[in-house]
Structure 1
């Protein structure tokens, strides 16, 4: 006599268990790998030289993220080509979650200019937007330019004679300065360096008239070794409240160029989610905020999907900027 509680035959039980396991995700490709992730140290590509402000902020964020992930994160500096050597290396890495890195927002520009093969619309996984940058124009204390207006007047009278150091052709410091020069109706002599640290050193050494960089000038301004003529953000900095923004000085130019963290395209969703959460906690940590405050980099956090939308919008913005500033012609001239 059959019983309603009778167990199904062995073969049917096996099929049921297999089906249940599949439904739970146990048989999905990469599931076991994602469950164990991370099981070894992670490599972080910083596309800037060691010692600069970008390098300092990335090391702080990696320390905080490493505590969340319970694995070390080793920072590898792959500098050059205004950050694009590191960005290209990141895009070409294996998408297993063990290579991540900083993505300069200028990838949206350099892809269109042809100096970055990776397509920022398809070749990266975006994990978190981190912080902006406070760009500024600084000169030596003995410079004849006491104000931005004095520099502009001199540059108008001497086209192409006033030089400035920047961190690489087509990068944020170069493009921002050229956008300002266009608004001011002046022609400047742009001198490209491999990164902001080298540009700063030659400015301090008197090799160039001005420095255009992201807050590497701050301790030197505070120490009296440089004078800040203007910053490029929306608002003045509390630490330098007497220094005008470009907008204060009458030029409708704002540059903050926020950076973010990413990985190669094709991450397992569970690995991506783990990294997004780790870098969310890292960006919002007191440790990172302290470094961001010290280097005058406003925290501008966005989670991965929102960061990706931001990058797509910037891609369209850069398309227009390239045409307006004739950047392809500038790059051709070197």
Structure 2
């Protein structure tokens, strides 16, 4: 009888232990959102080595920490930065395919027919930052200033070539505005990103580049020189480079970008990503990358980024109509 009672006590204790264990597991299951359970792909719609790619790879490392899951960066250059948007149109809305969203995604549908509608086809998760753009020349260029370039372009209409990171990219659009105001005839050479443009400039295949701050390393090394920057104020990093406003143009061009997913994403997954993206944006690893590229943190949550996107779509439509630009 004693042995029977002892065995029953042991059995009961085992049952209680199993129940307690199951209770913990159930509680953990309730707390766990079930996302992410596998690697997340983050598309960079530009070539490797450019400004966006350099910053986003640091951002992806920070996002990997905040999500607790691997983040794979996939470059999809071309299409004026819209290849990521096109990929999202084909992706499942499960949170495992995301893309950086440059302003060109909001602009391109007004320039030519696209397979996406930026107002309806995406879930805007977080705005992250914006660029430092400007015009850069080789250090041995005879043009020491923006007026030097203007004088040379007027003296040799159609003989000066500049590069940009893509047809109808923000640098290209800003150069259209500048050259139109100055009534200049210059040749535009589109590339798939800043890296290709800058390599062409170093090879003297184009005379200047409208580029992002990926040019900064070469400027700091004394190989390139800014003729101007398109920021609101002079850059502490390059204090000798004048802004467009100082040169007489009431313009600032910084092309904010963020992260989006396909439309129809689960609201709980959106909340998880929004919080993880904020932590990644504020991570010292990412902030150091922004500082290195002379970019500012411009974080907005999902609701704020969605409002910004809708406002930007309207502004880009007006800009395209004002400049009268259409794809050939």
**1:76 match:** 74
Shift of the alpha carbon at 1:256? 0.3
- In 1, distance between residues paired with 2:183 and 2:252? 17
Aligned 8 A contact 1:107 1:116 in 2: no
Counterpart of 2:168 (choices 167, 170, 188) is 170
| Structure 1 residue ranges (4+ consecutive) displaced by more than 3 angstroms after TM superposition | 31-34
- In 1, distance between residues paired with 2:89 and 2:210? 28
**2:6 match:** none
**2:16 match:** none
Shift of the alpha carbon at 1:115? 4.8
**1:109 match:** 107
**1:148 match:** 146
- In 1, distance between residues paired with 2:91 and 2:178? 36
Aligned 8 A contact 1:183 1:251 in 2: no
Counterpart of 1:126 (choices 124, 127, 139) is 124
User: What secondary structure is seen at the aligned counterpart in 1 of 2:162?
Assistant: strand
**2:202 match:** 204
**2:3 match:** none
Shift of the alpha carbon at 1:91? 2.7
- In 2, distance between residues paired with 1:142 and 1:59? 32
**What are the Cα deviations for residues 76-116 of structure 1, in whole angstroms up to 9, with x where unaligned?**
11111121122210232100011111011111111222253
- In 2, distance between residues paired with 1:33 and 1:43? 25
**What TM-score results when the alignment is normalised by the length of structure 2?**
0.88
Matched, 1:183 2:181: yes
Shift of the alpha carbon at 1:67? 1.1
Aligned 8 A contact 1:45 1:90 in 2: no
**2:288 match:** 290
Shift of the alpha carbon at 1:32? 8.5
**What TM-score results when the alignment is normalised by the length of structure 1?**
0.87
User: What secondary structure is seen at the aligned counterpart in 2 of 1:320?
Assistant: helix
Counterpart of 1:225 (choices 217, 223, 226) is 223
**What are the Cα deviations for residues 46-70 of structure 1, in whole angstroms up to 9, with x where unaligned?**
1111111101111111111111111
Aligned 8 A contact 1:34 1:270 in 2: no
- In 2, distance between residues paired with 1:307 and 1:139? 35
**1:91 match:** 89
Shift of the alpha carbon at 1:33? 12
User: What secondary structure is seen at the aligned counterpart in 1 of 2:82?
Assistant: helix
- In 1, distance between residues paired with 2:271 and 2:107? 28
- In 2, distance between residues paired with 1:266 and 1:282? 23
- In 1, distance between residues paired with 2:268 and 2:167? 38
Aligned 8 A contact 1:131 1:297 in 2: yes
Shift of the alpha carbon at 1:186? 2.0
- In 1, distance between residues paired with 2:234 and 2:185? 26
Counterpart of 1:277 (choices 263, 275, 278) is 275
Q: Which runs of 5+ in 1 are unaligned?
A: 1-30
Judging changes above 3 Å, is the alpha-carbon distance between structure 1 residues 202 and 37 closer, same or farther for their aligned structure 2 residues? Answer: same
- In 2, distance between residues paired with 1:321 and 1:254? 14
User: What secondary structure is seen at the aligned counterpart in 1 of 2:119?
Assistant: coil
**What are the Cα deviations for residues 104-153 of structure 1, in whole angstroms up to 9, with x where unaligned?**
11111112222532111011111111111000101112212111011112
**1:64 match:** 62
- In 2, distance between residues paired with 1:177 and 1:32? 54
User: What secondary structure is seen at the aligned counterpart in 1 of 2:33?
Assistant: helix
